[in-house]
Amino acid sequence: MIGPKVTMELRRETTESDGMGGEFTYLECKRNITGVLSVIRGDERLSADKKTVISSHHFYIDYPIGETITEEDIFRYGTRKFEIIYIYNLGASQNKKLKIVLNEEV
């Protein structure tokens, strides 16, 4: 786990009523999570869902008790936005560390 220790915002798309019969969606900040953000080598690729997906970073964190992280969520670090590609539970079912594969949106 090489890289800087950073605190990123976990955000989730939320839908609410606009009070006039319609709905609007926004990214709600669920939690701030601290971990190690590591840049992936340029030639490393991840194969998921029978397609090749290019990822840019790994984010290593302690298992967040009380919060479930899914591939539909995103991480924000300042003005940078990271899409979650895949989540690995390191240590099998012990729920101690997660390795989250991210792709930085440009």
**How many Å apart are CA 86 and CA 100, to the nearest integer?**
6
* Model confidence, pTM: 0.80
Which is more confident, 102 or 43? 102
Contact 53, 45 (CB under 8 A): yes
Contact 98, 69 (CB under 8 A): yes
pLDDT digits (tens, 9 = 90+) for 36-84: 999 887 655 555 555 566 788 899 999 888 888 999 999 999 999 999 9
Domains delineated in the chain: 5-105 (2.40.10.270)
Q: Give the DSSP letter of residue 21.
A: S
Closest CA to 27 of 75, 69, 60, 66: 75
Which is more confident, 5 or 3? 5
Which secondary structure element, helix H or strand E, spans residue 48, and what is its range? strand 46-48
Report the first-to-last Cα separation within the chain, whole angstroms.
24
